[in-house]
Amino acid sequence: MTTTVGRFISFEGTEGVGKTTAIEGLCQRLQAAGIDYVRTREPGGSPFAERLRAILL
């Protein structure tokens, strides 16, 4: 049986500080290294969460 250890990386900060740029850079490096990853955002991912996100942002 093979066990895979994962990591949860979170980027936090106010608007305009470069979170999206940093995340995109990290994803590019992970992909180039052949490392699988899942990119998420909160709130997001469901119709209700997208509406909430639009209100908050």
Render each residue's pLDDT in the chain as its tens digit; 57 residues. Answer: 678 889 999 999 988 999 999 999 999 999 999 999 998 877 667 788 788 878 887
44 neighbors 51 (Cβ within 8 angstroms) = no
Q: Which residues, including other chains, have CB under 8 Å from residue 44's CB and lie 6 or more apart? A: 50, 53
Query: CA neighbours within 13 Å on the CB side: how many for 53?
Result: 10
Q: Taking the complete model, does pTM exceed 0.85, yes or no?
A: no
CB 43 within 8 A of CB 53: yes
Per-residue confidence (pLDDT) for residue 44, from 0 to 100? 67
